[in-house]
Amino acid sequence: MSIPVLPEGYVISTEPALLDLEVVHGFISHSYWGKNIPKPLVERMIRNALCFGVYHHGSQVGFARIISDFATFAYLADVFVLPEHRGRGLSKALIGTIVAHPDLQGLRRWMLVTLDAHGLYEQFGFRSVANPERHMEMHQPGIYERAVSQPSS
């Protein structure tokens, strides 16, 4: 699949210096998957991942990150486009850009977790887990709320 063309005024970049921590933290800390995540954790996750920013005339309006060994495996996480910029094909362009990235070619497995965007990811070859009995997880919902409520020592 070819990468959809971005509307005029939009660009996608992996340049870390362009990322706007306030935008990324602001969105993710209110999302269903990262509610109340502390800003220092968002800084660390950005530092330790290949991040993709979507920008409109220099302002960040979208984000996604890849956690990978760049040889066999990649995990796609924290994908979002701000609500006021949705409906313009930005999510498709973002996912297309990610799966076409030169450092992510030839990987044996890609993974992601989504509540409601299955149709988007299916367009790029993602499918439900073929053998769910082989997959395991350690999931700790509410971990950020517990971290906030615990006194620091």
Taking Cα atoms as reference points, which of 26, 34, 139 lies closest to residue 77? 34
DSSP 101: -
Using pLDDT thresholds of 50, 70 and 90, give the confidence band for residue 14: very high
Percent above pLDDT 70 for the chain: 94
The reported pLDDT for the residue numbered 1 is 63
- 22-46 pLDDT, tens digit per residue, is 999 999 999 999 999 999 999 999 9
C-alpha atoms less than 13 angstroms from C-alpha of 82 in its C-beta half-sphere: 17
Reported pTM: 0.91
The reported pLDDT for the residue numbered 153 is 47
Average pLDDT over residues 50-74: 98
Percent above pLDDT 90 for the chain: 87
How many H helices and E strands in the chain?
5, 5
Q: Which range is least confidently modeled, 33-42, 117-126, 138-147?
A: 138-147
CA distance 153 to 130: 45
CA distance 90 to 40: 27
Q: Is the pLDDT of residue 150 over 60?
A: no
Q: Is the pLDDT of residue 142 over 90?
A: no
Q: Residue holding tokens 């970049």? A: 13
Q: Would you say domain 10-149 falls under CATH 3.40.630.30?
A: yes
